[in-house]
Structures are given as C-alpha cells and as structure tokens.
Structure 1
Amino acid sequence: MKFNDINLNEKIIEVIHEQGFDELTTIQEKCIPEILNGYNVVGQAETGSGKTLAFCLPILDKIIPGNGVQAVVVTPTRELCVQVKDEFSTFGKKRKIEAMSVYGGVKIDQQIKNLRTADVVVATPGRMLDHIRRRTIDFRNVVFLVLDELDKMFEMGFVDDVEDIIYEIPRERQILMFSATITNDVNGLINKHAKNPLIIRTKSFVDPGKLKQVFYDIHERNDKFSILLHLLKANRGGLSIIFCATRAEADVLEKNLRQQNVKVSAIHGGMKQNRRMRSLTALKEQKTEVLVATDVAARGLDIKNVNAIYNYDVPQTSKDYTHRIGRTARAGEEGIAITLLTKRDHDNFRRVQGADEHEIEEKEIPDFRRVPFKRGFEKKNNWKKPNKYRRKKPLNDRDPGQKDDRKKKYYHQKRPYNKGRKKPVQR
C-alpha cells in the first residue's frame, strides 16, 4: 500500500514524499487506518520496522495546532525520546505543529517555558513525573497517549512511573502501545488500561537468509581486542555496532579504538547529555564507522545501514541476542553478527545457542596483529594555579640581574617581639 492511498492530511503527505517515502511498511499499513478510526491499538513490532511513523502520522493528522498539549509519548531512554520528537517535528512542520522532548540530565527551566506552546510532548518517565509534581504541564486537552518500547520500560523498572502518568491523563483518550515482545507483564498493563484494544502483530523485519551468524572462541582474553580490531578493518563498509555489557567497558573500548585511529562513537546511559547528543549527531551525519553501545541505550534507536553486529560481551538471554542482531540484514540487505567468546562468556552463550532460531557457526581465529589494550586512562588536567596564588622563589634562588618588585619583608618572617609595642610598666 502507498501513502497516497490512506486518508492523511495533504501537508503531511507532501513531507512524506519529500523524505523519500512511498510505500508503507507492514506495521504502518495495519496500524495507521485503525488509529485514524479512533481505536486503541497495541502493536508488536521490532525496532526499525517503521513503528514510530505508525503512530506519529495519524496523531499529526488528528491534532489541532496551537490547542495545547494533545499528545503525550512516553519512551524508556533519552536517545529514543529525542529521535521520536525529531520525527514529529519533521513530519508536522507544514502543519506548524510544535513538538518538544522532555528528559532528565538538562536544566528544567527551558522545558517549562517550551511546554506552554507544545502540541506534542515526548518524554522519559522520570522527567515527566517531575513536571507533573511541579504542575508545569497541562493534560486537559490530551487525546493521545503513546507508550513506546513498553517491554523495555518493564525491564528498566519504569512500570510504576508509567502507571502514575496514565492516571494523570484524561480517561477520554486514545491509548497506543508498542512493544517488541508482549510479555505477561505487558499483557497485564494492556488489560488494565486499554479498553477493547486491537492487537496487531508483525513478522520479523530481518531476513534470516541474509543474516550470517558466526562466533570466535578466543582462548586468551588479552587477544579479544586485537581480534576485534582485525575484524573491523576486514569488514569495512556501512556501520558496525559493538555491544558491551557495562557502561565502563563501553567507555574503555571506545578510547582504545580511538587510539587505533578508528572513527568511533559511544552511547550508554551514564554519559552526559551533550556527549550523547554528539554521538547521535555523528550517527545521523554518517561521520562515524563504529558505534559502541550498551543494550539499554541502543534499544529503540533506528540506526540505518548497519553492516555488522559485534557481541564483544555475550548477552545473558536469547531475547537480548535477538534484539542485537536484528539491527542488521534489514530490507533485503545482507548482514553479519559476530560473537567474541572468552572463558567467562560460555554460560551465557549456551543459553543463546539453546534457542532453536539461532544457528551460529564457529569460525577459526584469523591471523592478527597484537595491539595493546589499556584499562586505565589518565584524565587530562591542564589547570594551573593563578599567578597570585603561586609562591615566589626566595631571593637567593633568583637570577642576580632579575628585578625585585617585592617588599623586602616576607609574610612568613617574624617581626621582632618588641617592635612597635610599648614596654610594660615596671612596678
């Protein structure tokens, strides 16, 4: 089905064509007409399937510019929050719809100011609750509530925050929920808050025939980085994503790759917001070849042209492994998923291999050149004491010809006891 065949506002259709879109994806084709008809919708779809536009376009079609906050979208991560907000801004620009993102890690004052003119608010749960407690957001005109990546919000422990937000939204609203998997917890929330929802499921967006899965069994843990670097240089073309288990490991790996002249960016939940935004901008402008990420930070991000996935640390569950490798081999393109095994990874890898859908082939370790891998990096500290705080050298250590602009008396020299004092009266 083509976008011209659905009943959307002409100005939105114009922007869709300007962005180079013509045909709907499966999730868009099934969801958009139902949302336009006013149904509560639950969509099960993977990242990259086009689910953001599946709820973004009908919302942009139905809300009225300048009528206050009419749509609230809740996302689990800041990166996804910014990405969804950008979609609303891009496709709603000709209708002059104002969208804003609300997340932690930045000053709240500017957000409070922008909320006065916003039509669509995309938020993370914590900062949204902050605005609710401050009473800086008005929900009286809200007609749409979207919960994106709902299963991930359960994993991250946001379910109570999400329910608190739901209770603040007017009852007469349309609720849309999207999740990669519909677990028992997700199902319970659907039954509790969505009245007669339409549950729409789509098949995997990844072509299994185009995805090659391999692993390397590395005996020496110290060789892991050297082998990774060798494989990165051998498989150039497109973008590579390297998944790490912890934020600290992601930071250390990024610094070591940068020292080997690799164009690399990192993204994880512990980064300051300005650094996260630099990484996202580099991705969008294709200025980076390698992205080092944790599972949580990368979840929901729509990253295009991914050529290879590297599991530097093996995920703990088969589901996490599926989410990782599902970022490549999309839309008919070929991709490869490479897992690097050391002794401590075998337990997790057995769980991944236990799932029937994963056929992972073992490869021989190629000839590679060993390179150093540093764990500790010294922080640059260029701060020096200002001149007025520096202690000057004693006169004896100075050059004889150097002009002395100081007083002869030093602050540390003791004054004679009786100087300037009256002698005690003797009686």
Structure 2
Amino acid sequence: MKFNDINLNEKIIEVIHEQGFDELTTIQEKCIPEILNGYNVVGQAETGSGKTLAFCLPILDKIIPGNGVQAVVVTPTRELCVQVKDEFSTFGKKRKIEAMSVYGGVKIDQQIKNLRTADVVVATPGRMLDHIRRRTIDFRNVVFLVLDELDKMFEMGFVDDVEDIIYEIPRERQILMFSATITNDVNGLINKHAKNPLIIRTKSFVDPGKLKQVFYDIHERNDKFSILLHLLKANRGGLSIIFCATRAEADVLEKNLRQQNVKVSAIHGGMKQNRRMRSLTALKEQKTEVLVATDVAARGLDIKNVNAIYNYDVPQTSKDYTHRIGRTARAGEEGIAITLLTKRDHDNFRRVQGADEHEIEEKEIPDFRRVPFKRGFEKKNNWKKPNKYRRKKPLNDRGPGQKDDRKKKYYHQKRPYNKGRKKPVQR
C-alpha cells in the first residue's frame, strides 16, 4: 500500500514524499487506518520496522495546532525520546505542529517555558513525573497517549512511573502501546489500561536470508581485542555496532579503538547527556564508523546503514541476541552478525543457540597482528597548586563544631615560659 492510498492530511503527505517514502511498511499499513478510526492499538514490532511513523502520522493528522498539549509519548531512554520528537517535528512542520522532548540530565527551566506552546510532548518517565509534581504541564486537552518500547519499560523498572502518568491523563483518550515482545507483564498492563484494544503483530523486519551469523572461538582472552580490530578493518563499509555487557567495558573498548585510529563513538546509560548527544550526532552525520554500545542504551534507536554487528560480550538471553542482530540486514540489505567467544562466554552462547535455534556458523580465526589492550586509563590530574597568599581564617571566626587544627597544634607545641634572662654559667 502507498501513502497516497490512506486518508492523511495533504501537508503530511507532502513531507512524506520529500523524505523519500512511498510505500508503507507492514506495521504502518495495519496500524495507521485503525488509529485514524479511533481504536486503541497495541503493536508488536521491532525497532526499524517503521513503528514510530505508525503512531506519529495519524496523531499529526488528528491534533489541532496551538490547542495545548494533545499527545503524550513516553519512551524508556533519552536517546529514543529525542529521536521520536525529531520525527514529529519533521513530519508536522507544514502543519506548524510544535513537538518537544522532555528528559532528565538538562535544566528544567527551559522545558517549562517550551511546554506552554507544545502540541506534542515526548518524555522519559522520570522527568515527566517531575513536571506533573511541579504542575508545569497541562493534560486537559490530551487525546493521545503513546507508550513506546513497553517491554523495555518493565526491564528498566519504570512500570510504576508509567502507571502514575497514565492515571494523570484524561480517561477519554486514545491509548497506543508498542513493544518488541508482549510478555505477561506487558499483557497485564494492556488489560488494565487499554479498553478493547486491537492487537497487531508483525513478523521480524530482518531478512534471515540476507543475514549471515558467524562466531569465532578465541582460546586466549588477550587476543580478543586484536581479532576484533582485524575484523573491523576487513569489513569496512557502512556502520558497525559493537555490543558490550557493561558500561565500563564499553568505555575501555572505545578508548582502545580510538588509540588504534578507529572512528568510534560510544553510548551507554552512565554517560552525561551532552556526551550521549554528541555520539548520536556523529552517527547521523556519518562522522563515525563504529558505535560501541550497551543493550539498554541502544534499545529503540533506529540506526541506519548498519552492515555488521559484533557481540564483544555474548548476551545472556536469546531475546537480547535477537534484538542485537536485528539492527542489520534490513529492508533487503545484506548484513553480518559476528560473535567473539572466550571460555567464559560458552554457557551464554549455548543458551542463545538452543532457544531460537539460530544457525550460527563457526569460522577459523584469521591471521592477525597482536596489538596492546589497555584496561586502565589514567584520569586527568586536577590538582591545583595552593595559593600561599590566601588569607587564613582567624581562629575566632570558626563556626561551632568545626575542628581547630591550628589551635590544637599551637597547644601541642607550647612550652613553659621562662621569665627573665638566663644566668651565665659559673665556671
């Protein structure tokens, strides 16, 4: 089905064609007409399937510019929050619809100011609750509530915050829920808050025939980085994503790759917001060839032109493995998923193979050049030379309860006072 065949506003259709889109994806074809007809919709779809436009376009068609906040979208991560907001801004620009993102890690004052003119608010749960408690957001005109990546909300422990937000939204609203998997927890939330929803499921967006899965069994753990570097240089072209199990591992790997002159960025939940945004900007502007990421940070991000996935650390579950490799071999493109095994990874790898029966081919380790892998990086020395001209605080100016080290030292060094001059020794 083509976009011209569905009943969307002409200005939205113009932007769709300007962005180079012509035909709907499966999730869009099934969801958009039902949302336009006013149904509550639950969509099961993976990242990259086009699910953001599946709820974005009908919302942009229905809301009235300048009528206050009419749509609230809740996402689990800040990066996904910004990405979804950008979609609303892009496709709603000709209708002059104002969209804004609300997330933590930045000053709240500017957000409060922008909320006065917003039509669509895309938010993370914590910062949205902050605005609710401050009474800086008005929900009276809200007609759409979207919960995106709902299964990840449960995994990250946001479900209580999400329910608090749901109770603040007017009951006469249309609720849209999207999740990569519909677990028992997700199903319970659907039954509790969505009245007579239409559940729409789509098949994997990844083409198994285009995706090659291989693994290397590395006997010496110290060779792991050297083999990774060799494979990165051999498989250049497009973007490569390297998945690590922890934030610390991601940081160390990024620094080592940068020392080997690899154009690399990293993203994980422990980074400051400005650094995370720099990494995403570098990806969009194609200034980086390699992205090092953790599962949580990368979840939900729609990253284009990924030709290779590297499992530097093997995931603990088959579901996480499927989410990782699903970022390549999309829309008819070819891709490769490479897993690097060491002795400690074998148990996890057996679980990955056994659950979904992934066909993962073993490859012989290629000839490679050993390079050093540095685990400890020195922190910057922030020591400053003391100012000898700084005026010392008088003893009697110290507050109550403060230790008086100088006074203590004075009494410790005090000696008995000897009045008068010493008499000369008589010889």
Question: Residues 398, 250 of structure 1: CA spacing in aligned structure 2 closer, same or farther, 3 A cutoff?
Answer: closer
Question: Residues 393, 192 of structure 1: CA spacing in aligned structure 2 closer, same or farther, 3 A cutoff?
Answer: closer
Measure the CA separation in 1 of the matches of 2:315 and 2:402.
Answer: 67
* Structure 1 residue 378, shift from structure 2 partner: 1.1
Question: Residues 396, 176 of structure 1: CA spacing in aligned structure 2 closer, same or farther, 3 A cutoff?
Answer: closer
Question: Residues 394, 20 of structure 1: CA spacing in aligned structure 2 closer, same or farther, 3 A cutoff?
Answer: same
- Does 317-326 or 378-387 show the bigger shift? 378-387
Deviations 1:318-347 (A, max 9, x none): 000000000000111110000001111111
Give the secondary-structure state (helix, strand or coil) at the position aligned to 1:387.
coil
Which ranges in structure 1 are unaligned for 5 or more consecutive residues?
none
Deviations 1:67-116 (A, max 9, x none): 11000000000000000000001111111111111111111111111111
Measure the CA separation in 2 of the matches of 1:364 and 1:217.
Answer: 8
Question: Residues 395, 132 of structure 1: CA spacing in aligned structure 2 closer, same or farther, 3 A cutoff?
Answer: closer
Question: Residues 163, 399 of structure 1: CA spacing in aligned structure 2 closer, same or farther, 3 A cutoff?
Answer: closer
Question: Residues 418, 214 of structure 1: CA spacing in aligned structure 2 closer, same or farther, 3 A cutoff?
Answer: same
Measure the CA separation in 2 of the matches of 1:60 and 1:426.
Answer: 109
- Counterpart position of 1:113: 113
* TM-score (norm: length of structure 2): 0.91
* TM-score (norm: length of structure 1): 0.91
Deviating beyond 3 angstroms after TM superposition, the runs of 4 or more aligned structure 1 residues are 381-427
Measure the CA separation in 2 of the matches of 1:400 and 1:125.
Answer: 43
Question: Residues 74, 407 of structure 1: CA spacing in aligned structure 2 closer, same or farther, 3 A cutoff?
Answer: closer
Give the secondary-structure state (helix, strand or coil) at the position aligned to 2:367.
coil
Question: Residues 395, 189 of structure 1: CA spacing in aligned structure 2 closer, same or farther, 3 A cutoff?
Answer: closer
Question: Residues 198, 390 of structure 1: CA spacing in aligned structure 2 closer, same or farther, 3 A cutoff?
Answer: same
Measure the CA separation in 1 of the matches of 2:63 and 2:339.
Answer: 46
* Structure 1 residue 127, shift from structure 2 partner: 0.7
Contact 2:395-2:407 at 8 Å conserved across structures = no
* Structure 1 residue 388, shift from structure 2 partner: 6.5
* Structure 1 residue 36, shift from structure 2 partner: 0.5
Contact 2:316-2:351 at 8 Å conserved across structures = yes
Question: Residues 372, 393 of structure 1: CA spacing in aligned structure 2 closer, same or farther, 3 A cutoff?
Answer: farther
Measure the CA separation in 2 of the matches of 1:333 and 1:136.
Answer: 46
* Structure 1 residue 412, shift from structure 2 partner: 18
- Counterpart position of 2:158: 158
Question: Residues 268, 419 of structure 1: CA spacing in aligned structure 2 closer, same or farther, 3 A cutoff?
Answer: farther
Question: Residues 405, 35 of structure 1: CA spacing in aligned structure 2 closer, same or farther, 3 A cutoff?
Answer: closer
- Counterpart position of 1:9: 9
Question: Residues 420, 303 of structure 1: CA spacing in aligned structure 2 closer, same or farther, 3 A cutoff?
Answer: farther
Give the secondary-structure state (helix, strand or coil) at the position aligned to 2:406.
coil
**Number of positions where the alignment pairs a residue of Structure 1 with one of Structure 2:** 427
* Structure 1 residue 415, shift from structure 2 partner: 17
Measure the CA separation in 2 of the matches of 1:41 and 1:403.
Answer: 65
- Does 235-244 or 371-380 show the bigger shift? 371-380
Question: Residues 195, 421 of structure 1: CA spacing in aligned structure 2 closer, same or farther, 3 A cutoff?
Answer: farther
* Structure 1 residue 379, shift from structure 2 partner: 1.9
Measure the CA separation in 2 of the matches of 1:396 and 1:172.
Answer: 67
- Does 242-251 or 384-393 show the bigger shift? 384-393
Measure the CA separation in 2 of the matches of 1:398 and 1:49.
Answer: 65
Measure the CA separation in 1 of the matches of 2:54 and 2:119.
Answer: 18
* Structure 1 residue 381, shift from structure 2 partner: 3.3
- Counterpart position of 2:345: 345
